[in-house]
Structures are given as structure tokens and as C-alpha cells.
Amino acid sequence: MIRRGAKARAGDVADIRPLPEAVADLVRDGDTVAMEGFTHLIPFAAAHEVIRQGVTDLTLARMTPDVIYDQLIGAGLVKKLIFSWGGNPGVGSLHRFRDAVENGWPRPLELDEHSHAGMANRYVAGASGLPFAVLRGYRGTDLACGSGTISTVTCPFTGEELAAVAALNPDVTVIHAQQADRDGNVLMWGLTGVQKEAVLAAGRVLVTVEEIVDELVPRPGGVVLPGWAVTAVAEVPGGAHPSYAAGYSVRDNDYYQAWDPISRDRERFTAWLRRNVLDREGAATR
């Protein structure tokens, strides 16, 4: 029996499904979507499927928007971005993000802007079922001005004033991992970023994996997500490209560098998107 996008209950296992079907079912117009992965394990193939299906009016959350959100923003599917660092790592600007913020092209982009510490703690609060998280942060900066998700709270024990950030609970979180077993239990290792928190904060969870294996073998520093905490798993080898999956691939730094001139120009970007994403099935390659 195929469960149609319901949140997993204890005892259930994740559905193993083709990526197009899983995206169609789990990612909906107007959703708040988190596609996480801190440089490593970024779910590019799932994002490209979202672009092909034209799922729109999205609020996207991600600590480091990276090229993946530059592509979604340039495709015109994003109305709001919740983030903490919007650059092309080691290269420079995200030009589609900049064009949307500076010129409203292809549509205006609302921002909810944080520091990394603030974003990480927003997911922690969301995963913990708390309305907000406490941290030492933002003091004296202009980031707190005008944000509806940054405030202060007084410690009831010491009287100290601390920063408070609102919980972030995405409608759906999408991540990429190395492996899942046939019950949909997920294993990832290497830099695992904020993915566990983003998954446990979300209403629905889609995980793409490099491969589905008969048995998961424990790894040092590995993170296991039980199948009953995941809504759907799709097998997408290379689904993190041009990001990478430790043990399977290396980061395609040339792609990130090549993205700079492609993304600077609206027409060149639009042609790239058509050729490499819209007219293509599966993970885009250069």
C-alpha cells in the first residue's frame, strides 16, 4: 500500500519510490521546504525534479543556499528565502539570488536572514518540539533589526538577556544520504551538517540515496535515521552532484566555478536551465 504523503507513524517504514513520484506527492505549491546539506550531500537531483514539476510559491530554508537554491530562485519558483549565507562557496556571489534581491528578477524575493548559529538553533528548536531556541548571538548586530524570528529572552535563573530564535518547522525536508536499506532506514556519514535536525523538524521527509543496500553497516560518525521517521526514500545515484557524497564521489569544484559565468547572465542561465534540467530526466550534469 502506498501512503500518500502522510507523516510517518512509529512502526511504519519509509516508502521506497521513484523520485518524480515522491516529489509530486511530498512537495507542494506554497510549502516551506528545507533542502539541507552543508556543502556535502546537497540534494541537487531532487531540486531539479522540483524545477521540472514547476512546484512554485515556495519558501525555501537552508543555511547555505548554494548553487541549488540559485537554480530554484532563477527558475522563478521561490517567494521567500530563510538562510544564513548566500554565496557560491570559494567562488563568489550567487548571481540569481542577487538578481532576485536587487532587481526582483524573475520575481521579488523576501528574506528572513540569520547567522549560522541562529539557523542551526532554529532547526534544533523545531526538532525538539519547542517554540524557540536560546543562544548567545546577534548582540550589537543589525541582523536582529526588523526580523520577526529573532528576539531576546531573559534567563529566569541568572537574569541574563540572551538571543531567542523562532523554531523552524518545514512542511517538507529533502536531504541526500549515502545509503538506505529496504525498510527505508537511512545512513549518512562524513559532514552531516544540520540534516538530522532539519529532518526531525519537518512534517514530511524525502531522502534521496546513492544506493539501497540489503544491510546498513555502522560507520564512525555515521547518522542513522530510522525508516519510521522518513516519509519516502528514492534511489538516485549521483543525486548530490555537483556537491558530493563521501565514499561515492568528490565535490565537482569545476562545476561551481563554471556556474559563475552561467549564472551572471539571465539569458545564459535560462538556456542552461532548459538544456540541463527542464529537458532532461534525472540528475543534471554539465
Partner 1 sequence: MTDAPESASPDELMTVNAARALAGARTCFVGIGLPSAAANLARRTIRPDLVLIYESGAVGAKPARLPLSIGDGELAETADAVVSVPEMFNYWLQAGRIDVGFLGAAQIDRYANINTTTVGRGPDRPASRLPGAGGAPEIAAGCGEVLIVLRHSTRNFVDRLHFVTSVGHGTGRGDRERLGLRGRGPVAVITDLGVLRPDPETAEFVLTELHPGVTAEQARAATGWPLRTAAHVGTTAPPTAAELTALRALTNA
Least Å from the CB of residue 73 to partner 1: 12
Question: Which cell numbers hold the place of 52?
Answer: 521540472
38 binds partner 1 (CB under 8 A): yes
Piece of the chain touching partner 1 by CB under 8 A; list 44-52, 130-138, 202-210, 230-238: 130-138
Nearer to partner 1, 111 or 213 (CB): 111
62 binds partner 1 (CB under 8 A): no
137 binds partner 1 (CB under 8 A): yes
Least Å from the CB of residue 68 to partner 1: 13
The set of residues, in sequence order, having a beta carbon less than 8 Å from that of 85 and lying 6+ positions away, is: 63, 64, 65, 116
Q: Mark 4-33 with x for binding to partner 1 (rule: CB under 8 A) and - for no binding.
A: ------------------------------
120 binds partner 1 (CB under 8 A): yes
197 binds partner 1 (CB under 8 A): yes
135 binds partner 1 (CB under 8 A): yes
83 binds partner 1 (CB under 8 A): yes
44 binds partner 1 (CB under 8 A): no
Least Å from the CB of residue 189 to partner 1: 8
Nearer to partner 1, 170 or 193 (CB): 193
Question: Which cell numbers hold the place of 250?
Answer: 568528490
**Chosen residue from 22, 33, 165, 194 binding partner 1 by CB under 8 A:** 194
159 binds partner 1 (CB under 8 A): no
**Chosen residue from 20, 76, 87, 237 binding partner 1 by CB under 8 A:** 87
**Chosen residue from 160, 214, 215, 267 binding partner 1 by CB under 8 A:** 160
